[in-house]
Amino acid sequence: MIALLLLAAAPTPLADALALHAPEGTRVELTSWTAPACAATRFEPQPIEGSGRIAVRATGKSCSVWGWATVRVYATQAVVTKDVAPGASLEGAIRLEEREWLRGTPPAPRLEGATASRQLRAGVVLRENDVRFGPAPGTSVLVRLTLNAISIEQRGTIISCGQRVCASLASGKRVSGTFRDGVLISTLEGGT
């Protein structure tokens, strides 16, 4: 027979285990616990990737069962404070605040030198694919291609490719890499 444990009856060790397994910088609230009857003393939750249902293995002296913990997870999120056009700097347009962390929405991304990769509206939580780094698309830059001990430099044009910094070369090849001191450095793989 299956017993439903309500929040008031949720074991304290379960809440402690959820807090212990929560990602760094997050806060977890247990809202419900459903599991077959078991006098469990040990709880092992699956990875917590945001608010929702989490599978938890509960073990006791003479039982071992799986249950569902419904949790609300809170994390520091970057919130857009005013409308931002694509390519515009995010400096002064972001406020950090604690908000519910939904699945697929990581905590606040790195923002130093970031620009908007698309139109952003005030009040939305910033997601990783909303930001990009490096020069704006269409900018001509020096591209350094490195393969083992060989390094070649040529001009390229910055293109949009999400959060990475990418360029299109005269040959049509697209490369991505690290933008440092005005140069896009791309390490190629292969060759013997």
How is 4-40 classified by DSSP, letter by letter?
EEPGGGS-HHHHHHHHHHSPTTEEEEEEEEE--S--E
Structure confidence at residue 118 (pLDDT): 85
Pairing of strands 140-147, 183-187: parallel
Q: How far apart are CA 87 and CA 118, in angstroms?
A: 7
Q: What is the CATH architecture assignment of 140-187? A: Roll (2.30)
Structure confidence at residue 109 (pLDDT): 64
Q: Which own/partner pairs from 38-43 qualify as long-range (CB within 8 Å, at least 24 positions apart)?
A: 38/63, 38/64, 38/65, 39/63, 40/11, 40/13, 40/14, 40/65, 41/13, 42/13, 42/17, 43/11, 43/13, 43/14, 43/17, 43/18
Structure confidence at residue 148 (pLDDT): 81
**CA torsion 11→17→19→21, rounded to 10°?**
-150
What type of residue sits at position 108?
A: A
Structure confidence at residue 155 (pLDDT): 93
Where in the chain do CATH 3.90.1210.10 domains reside? 75-133
The tokens describing 47, both together, are 């990875």
What does the pLDDT average to over 74-96? 88
The tokens describing 125, both together, are 């939580």
Mean per-residue pLDDT of the chain? 83
Structure confidence at residue 162 (pLDDT): 63
Helix, strand, coil percent content, the chain, rounded in steps of 5: 10, 50, 40
Tell me which fold the domain 75-133 belongs to.
Type Iii Antifreeze Protein Isoform Hplc 12 (3.90.1210)
pTM of the complete model beyond 0.75: no
- Other Cβ atoms closer than 10 A to 186: 21
What does the pLDDT average to over 112-137? 82
Structure confidence at residue 2 (pLDDT): 33
Q: DSSP assignment, residue 128?
A: G
Structure confidence at residue 72 (pLDDT): 94
Where in the chain do CATH 2.30.30.760 domains reside? 140-187
Over 80: is that where the pLDDT of 11 sits? no
What's the residue count for the chain?
A: 192
- Other Cβ atoms closer than 10 A to 135: 18
Least confident of 54-63, 100-109, 147-156, 178-187: 100-109
Structure confidence at residue 192 (pLDDT): 46
What does the pLDDT average to over 17-36? 89
